[in-house]
Structure 1
């Protein structure tokens, strides 16, 4: 079963387990959100909305808040007083994973609706208490990083040079054990952060990291 949802002025065809990037949502990593603008449900008996499918929804889990590729915009005016101007922009995005597609009962899930970050007034921004709760969830990872302050030589991994090793450490990855424990969701999130989509699987980092980690025991 698949669904076509609308968010941020764009449409996406999704199925369970899909990982996708959408325009930034007002949600923290680890939160669950619900897309209520379902335009179509596909499968054995497709349902097309008019314009929305009543009672349908798509549930998703936020993996991380990321930035898109940098776009350079150059403007030159050739007049009496010529001028040049260069602007750079990186779109704010939310990386999420689809967890469930509902054909009905959208109003009974209790999951908050997915809302674009730009449409949320400051008064409705997450309260400090909510931020503290999110920080507590992230505490185990921070503790793990602190325990391995010195870290491993990540350049021993295939395709990892000093620059890429620095990026990994800035992302909180300092040991082979961390890489060896990556899930498919972790790989997708790290692909986005490093801007090297598919490289982790292509170079076989996880298998290499498992061997290197065992060699330290």
Structure 2
């Protein structure tokens, strides 16, 4: 089974934790409790193939910017979250995407999805669908409008990211590592582990 880690990034209060918990535990978190960093792990079935997914739910980008560099460096995929009820949160996502490209390399097609939250709050909506679609087309990344409360389009967003990571990080990486172990590694009898 292949393993991937992804990072959930966005401004504070946009619903990153609610989105993550809905996908990982199928629960809705009602109260807002600012996150510093929370890790979730689960086996997900995408297109009939099991994948071990680790999600890092981060604090609001404006609160812990120094940590973002570490998260981005280690992350293999990114969920860029903004609230459909807050136009300013989309600007935050724009700067986060620039930061990812700066760290990962401008030309790399890093696995990424753009996710708008709070779709159920129709009367409070500030971000138009047209604006989001234009942005997604310019960035060449998929966009999802979701509601963690109603469980609308949450799973498809994360499943899309898993598909992108499978494509971007081919399984050959793992085979190369196995080849090195077979060539350089030796089995340590007492602990039954391979030492490089």
TM-score w.r.t. the length of structure 2 is 0.29
Return the structure number with greater strand share.
Answer: 1
Determine which structure has greater relative contact order: mean sequence separation of CA pairs < 8 Å that are 6+ residues apart, divided by chain length.
2
Of structures 1 and 2, the larger Rg is shown by 1
Return the structure number with greater helix share.
Answer: 2
